[in-house]
Amino acid sequence: MSFVFARALALALLSPALVIPSTRAAESGEVNVYSYRQPYLIEPLLKEFTEETGIKVNVIFAEKGLIERIQAEGRNSPADVLLTTDIGNLTQATTSGIAQPIQSEVIDQVVPEAYRANDDEWIGLTRRARVIYASKDRAKQDAITYEELADPKWRGKICTRSGQHPYNVALIASMIAAHGEAWTEEWLRGVKANLARKPAGNDRLQVKGVYAGECDIALGNTYYMAAMLNDEKEPEQKAWADSVRILFPNTNDRGTHINVSGAVMAKHAPHKDNAMKLVEFLVSDRGQKMYADVNAEYPVKDGVPPSELVQSWGTFKADPISLDEIAAHRKTASELVDKVGFDDGPSS
């Protein structure tokens, strides 16, 4: 049987094929997941959860629109858990009124407070660091800070994606938390002046820019290194990855900026108990190890090591600032990006 998502199907952002096989009545043997995360990244974990618990996981995947879909479905939503990335998406989910607190002693013991909402309406499942990809040939230094990106010595040598991308908005918000709005505005003007080109493309294309000699350093998330090294569809990306090394900014002082992938418990979850079991599995030793190996991300649970590849990039100190505090500065960060004309590029 399937739900008729009458209101949700009116959302043009969603494919009409995305339907969870389920009934509205709470059935003890299943859990419904809406996921912004790509199938290959989470399907192995969901399969393992089913094998361990016997609970069937019904899942839909979409690049956008799932939060709006849950809103539209209202009390009739079959969604139990939303899986997504970035503090921006997690905050949007909670401010949209689709979440309920994830109250679990297991989770409280495992997930550090910095990676949980103050009201427990979202939790982090994995950590991802915003780092510098540095040319092995042209960028010789072994340490760097985010503050240094505004130094004129990097004039014409930095590549990055749009300043309005959630990954960069979160980084800029962390700078506001550390230094204040006025200081961050001037810093952002300095970084803009040092750009090699107009911001565009994803994190992988910034690394390609370093490989091609367009820039010496690029901003990116750690796991893209693994993605490029292992991309069988586009093997040329291995050469991009081989041309750079990872520097963890500020690891010698306040720490490297951290974002998360995370989970939200849907407000009207029809299988709440099974949803809790799923989230607890995802932060268990087994779940965290699988996340680390499959996604090349850092576990949130202490004592679970990253994959061997990730360990080869070196160790770093994480910025201890709460992601809730970063979320509080996201609006200002986005406004600063527009104020300084960051996405217009260095010559504007």
Whether residue 114 is contained in a domain is answered as yes
| 117 and 266 share one domain | yes
Whether residue 61 is contained in a domain is answered as yes
| 339 and 278 share one domain | no
Output DSSP code: residue 256: B
b/e sequence 110-130, b meaning 16+ C-beta within 10 Å: bbeebbbbeebbbbbbbbbbb
The tally of domains found in the chain comes to 2
| 336 and 214 share one domain | yes
Strand partners, 244: 135
CATH number at residue 219: 3.40.190.10
Q: How far apart are CA 12 and CA 6, in angstroms?
A: 12
| 39 and 122 share one domain | yes
Q: How far apart are CA 304 and CA 289, in angstroms?
A: 6
| 335 and 199 share one domain | yes
| 209 and 324 share one domain | yes
| 245 and 275 share one domain | no
The domain of 54 spans 8-126+259-306
Q: How far apart are CA 7 and CA 10, in angstroms?
A: 5
pLDDT per residue as tens, the chain (348 positions): 333 333 333 333 333 334 444 443 344 599 999 999 989 889 999 999 999 999 999 999 999 999 999 999 999 999 999 999 999 999 999 999 999 999 999 999 999 999 999 999 999 999 999 999 999 999 999 999 999 999 999 999 999 999 999 999 999 999 999 999 999 999 999 999 999 999 999 999 999 999 999 999 999 999 999 999 998 889 999 999 999 999 999 999 999 999 999 999 999 999 999 999 999 999 999 999 999 999 999 999 999 999 999 999 999 999 999 999 999 999 999 999 999 999 999 986
Whether residue 32 is contained in a domain is answered as yes
Q: What pLDDT, on the 0 to 100 scale, is given for residue 232?
A: 87
DSSP H or E run through 71: helix 66-73
Output DSSP code: residue 145: -
